[in-house]
Amino acid sequence: MSMINYASREINCKIVYYGPGLCGKTTNLEYVYNKVRPETRGKLISLATETERTLFFDFLPVDLGSIRGFNTRFHLYTVPGQVYYNASRRLILKGVDGVVFVADSQAERMDANYASMQNLYENLAEYGYDPRTLPMVIQYNKRDLANAVNLGELRAQLNPDSLADFEAVATKGMGVFDTLKAVSKLVIKSLG
Amino acid sequence: MNPAATSWAFEAQDLERLDALLGAFLDGSQARCALLLDRTGRLLTAAGDDAGFDRVSFASLAAADFGASDQLARLLGEREFRSLYHQGENGSMYLVDVAGHAILAALFDARTTLGRVRLKTKAVVPEFASLFAQIAARDRTVGARLEAGWLTEVEDEIDRLFAE
Ligand SMILES: Nc1nc2c(ncn2[C@@H]2O[C@H](COP(=O)(O)OP(=O)(O)OP(=O)(O)O)[C@@H](O)[C@H]2O)c(=O)[nH]1
Ligand SMILES: [Mg+2]
C-alpha cells in the first residue's frame, strides 16, 4: 500500500490497470506518458513480447510535485491481460493502492471481461485485500468500435456496485485522463 | 498475507538509521552503490555512486525481478530464494531479501568480490530486519499528520496535471 516518508516528505501510491488481454491497458499508459508534462513523469518501462503484448508489466511514475511540503508520486502499472500470465499478474498487485479495471466494450469480449474481474477479486483476496474498500474505478474502452455493447449492459455485467465508471477510446485519449483523475483522487482520499 | 505489511510511514530518524546501516555496509563490502527498496518496488534510500542511472526504474524492475524469482522458488518446491545475483562484464548486482519487508541491492565491480559482498550482506540484513520490524509495528496511518487543506490542494493539482 502507500508509503509515506516523513524524512524526504514523499508520498508514494501504486495504481494498477487490470483487465483482459488486448483491452487497452498499455494504450492508457502510453497516452498518459505522451500527454502529461514531460517534467512530471519518469521513464515508461514496458516488459513486452515481440508482438507488443505485455509480458510482465508496464511502469510509469508520475509526480504531482510538492504540495504543503509533501511530494506526491503515483506509480502506474499495467498487468499482462492474457489468462496464461496469472502468476505475473498477481505479483504486480502486491502493494496496490488503487485499481483501474479496463473492460473491452466489444460484444465478443464480454466473457473475457467478466473472467478478468473474477480473477482480480481472487488475486486481491490472496493478498488479503478487501475489494469493497480498495479504491477502484472502471473504464469501458474501445467505445469507437461498431460491435461495442451498450453502456447499460456493460454496467449491469461489470459494475453491480456502481463504482465510478468511464467510457473511453484509449487510442484517441478519450476518457483516459478522466479515469486516472478519478482513481488517483480515490487513492488520495483513502490515505486519510 | 497482511496487506498492511506493504504500507509504510518512515520518520526522519528511521531514515537516519537506515542510511547509517547502508553506509557501513557500503564501506565494508566495497560495493560501488547500495540501494534499499521495498518489495513493491519503491526506493527507500541509497548510498554510494549510482553513476546517474534511473533509480526509480531500477527499484521497480529489481523488485519485479526478485518477486518473479521468489515465485520460481516456490514452483520448484523451495521456500524462497533469499538472494539473486546477476553478473555483467563490468559490474554485477547482488540482491538479498530483508525479512520479506525490503530488498538490499548491491552494485559492485572488480574492486571487490561476490564473496565479500555476500558476507557483508549476511551481517547487515538482520540489523535492517530488526529496524523494519520496529517501523512496521508502529502506527502507519498516513493521513493523521497531513495538514488540513492538503487533500483539496492535491485534488486541484490532479485536475491540472491530468488535463488535455
Ligand atoms: N479501436 C480501438 N482500439 C484500441 C483502443 N484501445 C486500444 N486499442 C488497440 O487494442 C490493441 C491492444 O491494446 P493494448 O493497450 O496493447 O492492450 P493491453 O490491454 O495492454 O493488452 P495485454 O498487454 O495483452 O494485456 C492495440 O492494437 C491498441 O491499439 C480503443 O479505444 N479503440
Ligand atoms: Mg499491455
Cα end-to-end span (Å), chain B? 40
Percentage of chain A lying above the pLDDT 90 cut: 82
Q: Report the candidate in A41, A20, A24, A22 with the shortest Cα–Cα distance to residue A173.
A: A24
Rounded to the nearest angstrom, the minimum Cα separation between B100 and chain A is 12
For B3-163, CATH number?
A: 3.30.450.30
Question: Do B9 and A6 count as a contact with CB atoms less than 8 A apart?
Answer: yes
Which grid cell is B96?
A: 538479498
Which pLDDT tens digit goes with each residue over B26-67?
A: 999 999 999 999 888 889 999 998 778 889 899 999 999 998
Average pLDDT over residues B152-161: 94
Q: CA-to-CA distance for A79 and A49, rounded, in angstroms?
A: 13
- Global ipTM: 0.90
Q: Report the candidate in A102, A136, A6 with the shortest Cα–Cα distance to residue B145.
A: A6
Q: CA-to-CA distance for A64 and A20, rounded, in angstroms?
A: 29
Q: Report the candidate in A5, A76, A79, A7 with the shortest Cα–Cα distance to residue A40.
A: A76
Rounded to the nearest angstrom, the minimum Cα separation between B137 and chain A is 15
Tell whether B4 lies on the interface with A, counting CB pairs under 8 A.
Answer: yes
- Does the Cβ of A22 fall within 6 Å of ligand 1? yes
3-state SS assignment for residue B143: helix
Q: CA-to-CA distance for A105 and A120, rounded, in angstroms?
A: 18
**Chain A residues within 8 A of B74 when measuring between CB atoms:** none
Output B25 or A68, whichever has higher pLDDT. Answer: B25
CATH of A3-191, picked from 1.10.490.20, 3.40.1710.10, 3.40.50.300, 3.40.50.12280, is 3.40.50.300
Q: CA-to-CA distance for A60 and A71, rounded, in angstroms?
A: 17
User: Which residue of chain A has the CA closest to B2?
Assistant: A128
- pLDDT above 70 for A48: yes
Domain ranges of chain B: 3-163
Q: Report the candidate in B53, B107, B58, B70 with the shortest Cα–Cα distance to residue B85.
A: B107
Domain ranges of chain A: 3-191
**Chain B residues within 8 A of A129 when measuring between CB atoms:** 3
Which pLDDT tens digit goes with each residue over A5-42?
A: 777 788 999 999 999 999 999 999 999 999 999 999 99
